[in-house]
A and B are shown apart, each in its own frame.
Chain A
């Protein structure tokens, strides 16, 4: 028992550290990648090729004045940024980065991930409410509607690998995809659509374009984070990146075969696939415009949910027949 605890704690610390570092790198990467998509250079001054830019950003945000608006609900206001970051990190606990590197391979791993994903709605809504700001409130309402709606296709599409592999445990799911049996490869007619739906739902859950209406800068100044300054804003900001990173890792584990690869399966493949998904998310972010709230909802309930229900059925049929 205590051995499991020690194992869990050690790996947790390691993984959290790695994820946070990766987030910092992700900040740099996004700035450069976005810049190149726009035929410009991005950060170049701070550190070689701008690598220390995230450090500079963090330092800048740290020295800003910490403001709590009058008539704001101070307790919630101050608490939610931390909750956002923690909830985003929480899902990293069950992701199997390699056969031996996993903080805690829960039996109900998938369920846990989705539950944590649901928890990430709370800080957003809390920020919207506690800011005493109409723009933030609007953003918060939209975020809630969007997040809980997109939970459904997220869950249903995550059910496909669960059904195909027969277990909720992430380690088992990845194991079932060993030897290039990735679910997007076979059965591809079930795996690929399910993967697409998962990615879309993941984009919606992390409030990325094209689903970033809750934090739509052009409409709501900064959406739910309008009233946040300094380190609290930094936490929200980082929470977004962490969420995207971790969700990419989960997606890689569920659909892309995790640590499996054409030769020498291992941690590096997992990292590579996570990065691939991550790049895809940012490529989409910097190329597409955003949906309006009602169009977003229509997309979810009218297209994604029926499609994912069908896919779950198809996966079930597949498992029975094959």
Chain B
């Protein structure tokens, strides 16, 4: 009997303690909670810097969408009013946001960074028709102040970090796996095929290069890949928070291994911004990497 009272008293005191805490409610709609930088909620189609539409009607996004919400009428090649060159266009582009599952795959595969996601805190509508994003709406969203962080370049750069141009060629560009045409032609930055492949090749690669990385930079340690890297060593718990994607803008060339901290497509400043030199260059723990 006593235990009933004692434990009940404890439960009561716990809830009392919560009574005295500040409520965590965000009073929507008076207060709109800010979303993370990478939050994905709606879409936008972009124009290029020269004013031309970025979408070339390649239909990659339509093909990749698992829910088949994108419907494009490809316009065939015609002359661009701005640059004068013949290029593809999309005559119509409809994205049905009702059925979208927000997987971001369409963004990832776009060769021209034409479609991106936006991070509106909410996308309300009075009817289903309003949520079917027509081409006009998509281009209008371009001006939204909630542009998300991700576009194809960034996403791909995160996964397959680009080689720095100066780097000595890595040993064989490892098979760019199944038929991927080395990336889109337009995206110069993109790692062309093979680069990081870590996987395959790898061990062979390391050595070399080592390169010009200033010791301060980079950690390289990356051992990237595949276990092989002997590294048993505990990864340099480095610096900016474990993940710092940011770091090193100039990722040293793939050289088989990944340039440090994957991520961050070099060109684009990753959100982290600085971080720069990252780790006090802990020399790569012994893993074969050459260098630094």
Q: Residues on A close to B: CB < 8 A?
A: 35-41, 44, 283-284, 286-288, 303
Residues of B within 8 A of A37 (CB): 15-16, 18-19
Residue B23 interfacial (CB < 8 Å): yes
Binary contact readout B60-89 vs A (1 if CB under 8 angstroms, 0 otherwise): 000000000000000000000000000000
From A283, A284, A287, residue with most partner B Cβ within 10 Å: A287
Binary contact readout B126-150 vs A (1 if CB under 8 angstroms, 0 otherwise): 0000000000000000000000000
**Nearest-Cβ distance from residue A270 to partner chain B, whole angstroms:** 25
Beyond A284-B12, A287-B11, whether A38 also contacts B18 by CB under 8 A is yes
Residues of A within 8 A of B12 (CB): 283-284, 287-288
Contact of B19 among A36, A41, A284, A288 (CB under 8 A): A36
**Complex CA–CA separation, A284 to B16 (angstroms):** 10
Residue B25 interfacial (CB < 8 Å): yes
Binary contact readout B1-39 vs A (1 if CB under 8 angstroms, 0 otherwise): 100000010011011101101111101000000000000
- Docked-complex contact B23 and A40, CB < 8 angstroms: yes
Contact of B27 among A39, A44, A286 (CB under 8 A): A44
Residues of A within 8 A of B24 (CB): 39-40
**Complex CA–CA separation, A157 to B12 (angstroms):** 24
Q: Residues on B close to A: CB < 8 A?
A: 1, 8, 11-12, 14-16, 18-19, 21-25, 27
**Complex CA–CA separation, A40 to B16 (angstroms):** 13
**Complex CA–CA separation, A44 to B27 (angstroms):** 9
**Complex CA–CA separation, A38 to B15 (angstroms):** 7
**Complex CA–CA separation, A41 to B21 (angstroms):** 11
Residues of A within 8 A of B15 (CB): 37, 283, 286-287
- Docked-complex contact B14 and A287, CB < 8 angstroms: yes
17 contacts between A and B (CB under 8 A): A35-B23, A36-B19, A37-B19, A39-B21, A39-B22, A39-B23, A39-B24, A40-B23, A41-B23, A283-B12, A284-B8, A286-B15, A287-B8, A287-B11, A287-B14, A287-B15, A288-B8
- Docked-complex contact B14 and A41, CB < 8 angstroms: no
Q: Which residue of A lies closest to B4 (CB)?
A: A299
**Nearest-Cβ distance from residue B154 to partner chain A, whole angstroms:** 37
Residues of B within 8 A of A284 (CB): 8, 12
Residues of B within 8 A of A40 (CB): 23-25
**Complex CA–CA separation, A230 to B181 (angstroms):** 65
**Complex CA–CA separation, A117 to B22 (angstroms):** 40
**Nearest-Cβ distance from residue A279 to partner chain B, whole angstroms:** 11
- Docked-complex contact A303 and B1, CB < 8 angstroms: yes
**Complex CA–CA separation, A54 to B18 (angstroms):** 25
5 A-B pairs with the lowest CB-CB distances in the bound complex, closest first: A287-B15, A41-B25, A40-B25, A37-B15, A287-B11
Q: Which residue of B lies closest to A289 (CB)?
A: B11
**Nearest-Cβ distance from residue B11 to partner chain A, whole angstroms:** 5
Residues of A within 8 A of B27 (CB): 41, 44
Residues of B within 8 A of A283 (CB): 12, 15-16
**Complex CA–CA separation, A36 to B21 (angstroms):** 8
Beyond A38-B18, A39-B18, A303-B1, whether A288 also contacts B11 by CB under 8 A is yes
**Complex CA–CA separation, A44 to B19 (angstroms):** 17
Instruction: Name 10 extra pairs, CB < 8 A, besides A35-B23, A39-B23, A287-B15.
Output: A36-B19, A37-B15, A37-B16, A40-B24, A41-B23, A286-B15, A287-B11, A287-B12, A287-B14, A288-B8
From B15, B18, B22, B27, residue with most partner A Cβ within 10 Å: B15
**Nearest-Cβ distance from residue B216 to partner chain A, whole angstroms:** 46
**Nearest-Cβ distance from residue A50 to partner chain B, whole angstroms:** 12
**Nearest-Cβ distance from residue B1 to partner chain A, whole angstroms:** 6
**Complex CA–CA separation, A286 to B12 (angstroms):** 9
**Nearest-Cβ distance from residue B3 to partner chain A, whole angstroms:** 12
**Nearest-Cβ distance from residue A284 to partner chain B, whole angstroms:** 7
Q: Which residue of A lies closest to B13 (CB)?
A: A287
**Complex CA–CA separation, A283 to B9 (angstroms):** 11
